[in-house]
Amino acid sequence: MVAFFVFISANDVGINGAHQEGIYLNKKAWNLFFDEPIPPTGILDKQVKIHINDWKPFESRIVYYSSKKEFRITQFWTNTPFEKSEAVGTLLVFIPVSPQDYNVYLFNTDDEMEEFIDTFSLSLLNNFAIYRKEKGQEIAVEQTLEDIIGQVIEGMGNFPTTTEMSKLARSIYRKKMTPDKNLLKWVETEYTVFRMLEERIYKDQLSKPFRDIESLIEFANMALNRRKSRAGKSLENHLNYIFASANLPFENPGRTEGNKKPDFLFPSTKEYQNNHYPENKLIMLGAKTTCKDRWRQVLNEANRIPHKHLLTLQQGISKNQMDEMNEENLTLVVPKPLHRYYPKEYQDRLWTVEQFIQYAKVKCL
């Protein structure tokens, strides 16, 4: 199986003032759509048929403009059952079943997206991924990085803990950049480390047939649970390191009312639970890889803090959802390179990781 995955951005649905609507495809996925090489001049296009469950097949156009170096699919939104303005931030999957036919799936909720991403252990921080079953990994990371990772994990026979896995990723990708860029690179590197370790550690088990279906199911569940466990802690682990490096006082997780445990509480649980400590010096930050519907979970995690913050790697959210967040006094913290996937007129509402760090320093130090 070969598949192309892409998070829908504001540009893809035409709400950022693009001259022509169309889902942008990455040229690394070229062979999924064309047999011909990328033309140096002119336009290359073809009509394809799109198949969506419980919806009549329809035609779309795959087109490459050499003058703009743009590669996209057009004539898509007008024919689909999806409301394009609400599709920002959703995960779209293209699976070629013939040179002219593509099965298309759209995953709209956080549960759906994370289940899918964790099942295939995909890294979509570049806004896309390509999965080839025969190779068992997505093609989305520089080969030079894979070479480095291969050398680092040589001889490792077991999976490290989730904390150690994150630390290993940071030791591999040591280039000093902004907190925003480092966070994305560390998460992406960790995906690749984990996938390469899976191939190495599971090699013997996968080279022999399972003795019965129960053994196969047990192995599959074990592998999937490990993927979910690692993915669920990766973002928090790297944020923990970033905040500690910035000498910020915090707890991860914090404790507020009852059994509530916000992901990050600044400066600490002790200060939060001290009713004499000024409320305007308290900060709560949730951390969720995706947040199309889970953002509401953070609203009641710290009653003393009326204005909440949520850090996410979500690549785009609809205008309606961003308006709802604003009404609920929730500020999104999004790594700067991902801001371009959000509606243009709403991007000034987003905070960068660096902005949040500076804000926390003023509040808590």
202 assigned to active site: no
- Place 154 in a pLDDT band, splitting at 50, 70 and 90: confident
User: What is the widest separation between alpha-carbon atoms in the chain?
Assistant: 70
Report, as an integer, the average pLDDT of 205-232.
Answer: 88
- Place 236 in a pLDDT band, splitting at 50, 70 and 90: very high
What's the pTM value of the predicted model, to 2 decimals? Answer: 0.77
Please state, for a pLDDT cut of 90, what percent of the chain lies above it.
59
- The predicted pLDDT at position 19 comes to 52
- Point out the catalytic residue in the list 173, 272, 341, 346: 272
- The predicted pLDDT at position 10 comes to 81
- Place 94 in a pLDDT band, splitting at 50, 70 and 90: very high
Average pLDDT, the chain: 89
User: How far is residue 175's CA from residue 244's CA, in Å, rounded to a whole number?
Assistant: 18
Which domains are seen in the chain, by residue range?
2-138 (2.40.330.10), 143-245 (3.40.91.80), 264-364 (3.40.91.80)
- Place 246 in a pLDDT band, splitting at 50, 70 and 90: very high
Q: At CB < 8 A and 24+ separation, what contacts does 245-253 make?
A: 246/179, 246/357, 246/360, 246/361, 247/365, 248/357, 248/360, 248/361, 248/364, 248/365, 249/364, 249/365, 250/360, 250/364
- The predicted pLDDT at position 185 comes to 93
Residue 293 has pLDDT above 90, yes or no: no
